Amino acid sequence: MDLNTVLLILDSTLRLATPLLFACLAGLFSERAGVFDIGLEGKMLIAAFFSAAAAALTGNVWLGLMAGCAASMVLSAIHGLASITFRGNQLISGVAINFLATGLTVLIAQDWFAQGGRTPQLEGGARFQPITLPFAEALSGVPVLGPVYGDLLSGHTILVYLGFLAVPATWYVLFRTRFGLRLRAVGENPGAVDTAGVSVTGLRYAAVMICGLLCGFAGSYLSTGLAAGFVKDMSAGRGFIALAALIFAKWRPWSALGACLLFGLLDALGNRFQSIEIAGIALPVQFMQALPYILTVVILAGFVGKAIPPRAGGTPYVKER
């Protein structure tokens, strides 16, 4: 394998990891505050649709991004209402959101565009275009560094860079600010936070809304960055993989980056080498495609130790009985 092949695989890894990363960080905020969210998939899907739809109608991808985030945050608010205010079961609410998104996107798409649940193809300003980082041209002659910078790091859409910047931002917010401390506390011991006179409900709502915003970025990237338009069910299980990455990362931002890059890399490898021969044995393509999941099970079962979720996760907070 030469340098060029490695670079292309890593390049593909960055693209494939970005939606996972956004969704994973989204889940991180929500679950750290004690609200389990298996509706990441649905929120991504609805954001993918609304961002593609708004971009198709206005021709402006930024308006699309905003519409996608808004739609995703509406679903987040529903999740919050059901699981925080009405103290419903968080898993059931999440499942409902996934179903709602699957149905709504196709229905609205059919009504607006009459193309059988798709949006029209996006072109030009209605898509996120790759941006070339400064000095990429100038460095192209330099061995190793030139291609690494020019081919691998440069030439992605702005959302990819935002995704990677979101990791330190998340870390800073959660571990270096008062808001982050309280948010983590509310996921571990909401009673203590309440005793200190801080609103548990308010914090949890803030967390699920941030989750909605980040899912909006993930979905928008799928339909306006990676693809050029919405197709039904286009999130294709990426929300659930993000959830797996979150557990794998033990609910920590930097580990989440690593987990998402690993899943992205495995996906990219599966695309590049559909069947690999190792020591004379040809591994079938099905194995390559199942690898991320097999790896999740194996790693979770034995290598990273026990993944302990936030203690108050999944239970609605009841002030007094």
Partner 1 sequence: MTMMNTLLGAAAALAVTAGAALAEPGLIIDLGGKFDKSFNESAYTGAQRYISEKGGAYKETELQSEAQREQSMRRMAESGANPVITIGFMNISTLDKIAPDYPEVNFAIIDGVVDQPNVKSVVFEEHQGSFLVGVLAAMASKTGTVSFVGGMDVPLISKFACGYAQGVKAVNPEAQVIVNMIGTTPAAWNDPVKGAELTRAQIAQGSDVIYSAAGGSGVGVLQAAADEGVYSIGVDSNQNYLHPGSVLTSMLKRVDNAVFQIFEEGETDSFTPGIQVMGLANQGVDWALDEYNEELISAEMKATVEATKQKIIEGEIEVHDYSTDGACPAL
d(CA 79, CA 41): 13
15 scored as a contact of partner 1 (CB under 8 A): yes
| Shortest distance, position 184 Cβ to partner 1, whole Å | 33
Binding segment (CB under 8 A) for partner 1, from list 78-86, 158-166, 197-205, 224-232: 224-232
Binding segment (CB under 8 A) for partner 1, from list 31-39, 59-67, 205-213, 228-236: 228-236
- The token pair that represents 10 in the structure block: 């890593």
Residues 6+ apart with CB under 8 A from 70: 50, 216
Helical segments of 33-130, H only: 40-58, 61-80, 90-113
54 scored as a contact of partner 1 (CB under 8 A): no
Eight-class DSSP state of 126: G
Is residue 125 within 8 Å of 61, Cβ to Cβ?
yes
| Shortest distance, position 67 Cβ to partner 1, whole Å | 20
271 scored as a contact of partner 1 (CB under 8 A): yes
237 scored as a contact of partner 1 (CB under 8 A): yes
Binding segment (CB under 8 A) for partner 1, from list 4-12, 85-93, 135-143, 291-299: 4-12
- Kindly tell me which residue out of 81, 148, 227, 300 binds partner 1, with binding defined by CB under 8 A: 227
229 scored as a contact of partner 1 (CB under 8 A): yes
C-beta closer to partner 1: residue 13 or 83: 13
Compute how many other C-beta atoms are within 10 angstroms of the C-beta atom of residue 190.
24
C-beta closer to partner 1: residue 202 or 237: 237
Q: Which of residues 105-134 bind partner 1 (CB under 8 A)?
A: 115-118, 121
Number of residues that bind partner 1 (CB under 8 A): 30
Burial of 297 (0-12, 13-18, 19+ CB in 10 A): exposed
The residue assigned the tokens 């495609």 is 289
Name the nearest CA neighbour of 81 among 203, 258, 205, 239: 205
Residues 6+ apart with CB under 8 A from 280: none
Name the phi and psi angles at 20, rounded to 5.
Answer: -65, -40
| Shortest distance, position 91 Cβ to partner 1, whole Å | 22
Binding segment (CB under 8 A) for partner 1, from list 205-213, 248-256, 263-271, 307-315: 263-271
- The token pair that represents 85 in the structure block: 């205010």
Is residue 81 within 8 Å of 310, Cβ to Cβ?
no
C-beta closer to partner 1: residue 175 or 287: 287
| Chain positions contacting partner 1, by CB under 8 A | 4-5, 8, 12, 15-16, 115-118, 121, 222, 226-229, 231-234, 236-237, 267-268, 271-272, 274, 285-286, 289
